Amino acid sequence: MHPLPSLGFGLGLRKEHFADVLAAPPAGVDWFEVISENFMVAGGKPLAVLNQVRRDFPLVLHGVSLSIGGVDALDEAYLDRLATLIARVEPAWVSDHLCWTGVDGINLHDLMPLPYTEECLAHVAARVLRVQEHLGRRLLLENPSTYLAASHNRLSEWDYLAALAERADCLLLLDVNNVYVSACNHGFDPNRYLAGIPPARVAQLHIAGHRDHGSHKIDTHDEPVCEAVWALYATAMQRFPNAATLLERDDRIPPLPELVEELAQARAIAAATQAAA
């Protein structure tokens, strides 16, 4: 498989910014990530917008419904629609989440955590291999934020991810905010998490905001990146200097210039870590 391109710093493409992006390609944004399911259709305005944006920017597809950890059979019709979208927009890469999203054909529309056991690892690795064969390309898998853990876990999340990437020969989308949120919720060291992830497997980083509820944190994507996540991001850029960075915002979405300014902070942190290396 061909090596992935180096994309730089990007934003999630959201409908609130369609008009701005089409009117004048924003300076300071190198690429856009789009939610795959929003564009897995035969036509319509969103797909027309995507075709126009694709002329000016590299695109990445990011899915939320693959359910790679589920026990239902892989949805071949879903994979066919995803393959059609891939052929249409030629994304730099395709990603989804390390989770399950439903059972018995019912989509819960949430990213449910997996048990970190050898049995689950073997199950998910086999499914990743089948998806990659179907799509003809490597898949990037993202670590979700979690709020509970299986009582019979035998592996840490970072050891599970590293083993999965090796066994399925897939790549990783490391969500720095999710690492921080999960670390606070479960009481582990987020720096230990980063140290356990093999740098060669990480192609992309996510940064985002969350809500602090005192006893726990929730990954909401409706706030600016907080100082603690910026600090962890600096550590991540030291360990994964070649990874592309994506700033996520999915609710309470501000005007595009505000997100571009926040993305510039990520660029500055990355530049500072490289200069110090």
Over residues 74-91, the pLDDT tens digits come to 999 999 999 999 999 999
Distances (CA, A) of 85 to 113, 119, 180, 183, 219: 27, 33, 32, 35, 28
Rounded CA separation 47/45 (Å)? 5
Global confidence as pTM: 0.95
Rounded CA separation 32/7 (Å)? 10
Rounded CA separation 245/233 (Å)? 10
- Domain definitions of the chain by residue range: 9-276
Position 3 scores a pLDDT of 66
Q: Is 183 left (phi over 0), alpha (psi -120 to 50) or beta?
A: alpha
Question: What type of residue is 97?
Answer: H
What is the DSSP code (8-state) at residue 145? P
Position 148 scores a pLDDT of 80
Residue 228, both tokens: 């603690």
Distances (CA, A) of 110 to 27, 102, 107, 161, 218: 34, 8, 8, 20, 13
Question: What type of residue is 211?
Answer: R
> Phi, psi at residue 31, to the nearest 5°?
-165, 170
Low-confidence ranges of the chain (pLDDT < 70): 1-3
Rounded CA separation 58/267 (Å)? 18
Position 2 scores a pLDDT of 46
Position 109 scores a pLDDT of 80
For β-strands 31-35 and 9-12, DSSP reports them as: parallel
Beta-ladder partners of 217 = 212
Q: Tokens 């944004």, residue?
A: 29
Position 1 scores a pLDDT of 44
Is residue 252 packed enough to be buried (19+ CB in 10 Å), middle (13-18) or exposed (0-12)? exposed
CATH topology of domain 9-276: TIM Barrel (3.20.20)
